[in-house]
Amino acid sequence: IFPTSSYSAAIAFTGTYGINYGRIANNIPSPDEVVKLLKSAKIKNVRIYDADHAVLNAFRGSGLELVIGLPNENVKEMSSSPDRARGWVRDNVNSFLPDTNIVGIAVGNEVLGGGDSDLAGSLLGALKNIHNATKELGIHPSVQISTAHSQAVFSNSFPPSSCVFRDGILQLMKPLLEFFSEVGSPFCLNAYPFLAYTYDPDKIDINYALFQPATGIYDDKTKLSYDNLLDAQIDAAYAALESAGFGEMEVVVTETGWASHGDQNEAAATSTNARTYHYNLRKRLALRKGTPMRPGSVLKAYVFALFNENLKPGAGSERFYGLFKANGTASYDIGFRGLSSSSSSSS
C-alpha cells in the first residue's frame, strides 16, 4: 500500500494558456482546419463541450491536449447507470486513446446554480460513475475528471475574502469538493470580468476589468491589493473553498473572455476592449504567477472562445466571443496568425 502522498493525480493542463473550441455555428472551419489554426497559434490546451467524433478524429496525432465534455443532457443518464457511463467512456475516450490526446472529461457545465435541481442532484453520481469507468478501463491516471462552475454558485464575492458558497448550493458542493480532493481534481471556474462589468458598470472601473492601470481594490481583511478584476474573482473562489474546508484545492479558470460586439445595453462589447482584455490576459498568464491570495499557485486559464458562434442563443454578445472570425481570420490582433483566407474560404 502506497502512502497517499505518492498518488499522482491526472493533470489536464500543461502550460498556462488554453482555449474553448465551441461549435454552435454553421459557418466555422472544419475540425482539420481548426487543428492547423491551433498549431500555428501554438495553443496546445483545448476544451470542447461534447465528444464529437469528427473533432476527436481530427485531433489524432496532433499532440494537442483535449478536454472533452459530457453535455448536461447526458448527466442524469450517466448518474443512474454505471453501465451507460462505462459505455460512454469506452466509445468516446478509450477508443481514441492514445492517438487523440484526451486529458480530461468535463462532466456537465455550470450545473450547480443553474436552477435545475434534478440535474444538480445527479451531478455527483455522474462524476463518480465516469471516474469509475476510467478506473475500470485503466485510463484514470491520465484523464482528469472535472466540472465547471459559473459565479452563480457564490454569494458576497466582494471583497474577495468575504466570498462563500450560496446557502442552497453548499450542501451539494461539499460532497463534490470531497470527491475532487480524493481524485486530485481542481475547482473549475468560468470567470468573466466582462459580465461583471456589464451588470454593474457604475461600480466597476472598466480599466480594472481590462487589466489596465486602475485604482484597483484593497481587501481589508487579508490586507491584499488587487489591480485587476479576474484575480479578485479567482481569489473569491479560493475564499469560498477555504470557508468550505477545501483551502488546498487549486482553482483553474475554464472560461474567460470578452465579447467584441453586443446588444445596445452591452456597451463594453467592442473589438478594442476585447483586444485589450485578451492581449493583457495573455501577458498576465505568461508571467506564470499566482493571485494575491495564492501567489505560489500559477494561474491557468482557458479563453472563451476560438470562434464567433453565429447560432448561439441569448444576448448579442454571445455570438462574438471569438478570437477568430468564422472565416478563420483573427477578430483583432493579439499576436495570433489566423488561417490564410485562401485555405479557409473552402470551409
Compute the distance between CA of residue 325 and CA of residue 142 in angstroms, rounded to an integer: 33
Q: Is 309 in the active site? A: no
Q: Is 110 in the active site? A: yes
CA dist list (Å): 139 to 57, 72, 136, 314, 340: 19, 23, 8, 38, 38
Say which residues have a Cβ less than 8 Å from residue 278's Cβ, sequence separation at least 6. 257, 258, 303, 323, 332, 334
Catalytic residue among 65, 250, 255, 309: 255
Handedness of CA 49, 8, 175, 94 (dihedral sign): positive
Compute the distance between CA of residue 120 and CA of residue 45 in angstroms, rounded to an integer: 28
CA dist list (Å): 58 to 30, 35, 61, 66, 102: 9, 7, 8, 11, 12
Tell which residue, 321, 284, 318, has the closest CA to residue 306.
321
Catalytic residue among 33, 73, 77, 110: 110
Say if residues 20 and 42 touch (Cβ distance below 8 Å).
no
Question: Which residues does the annotation mark as catalytic?
Answer: 110, 255
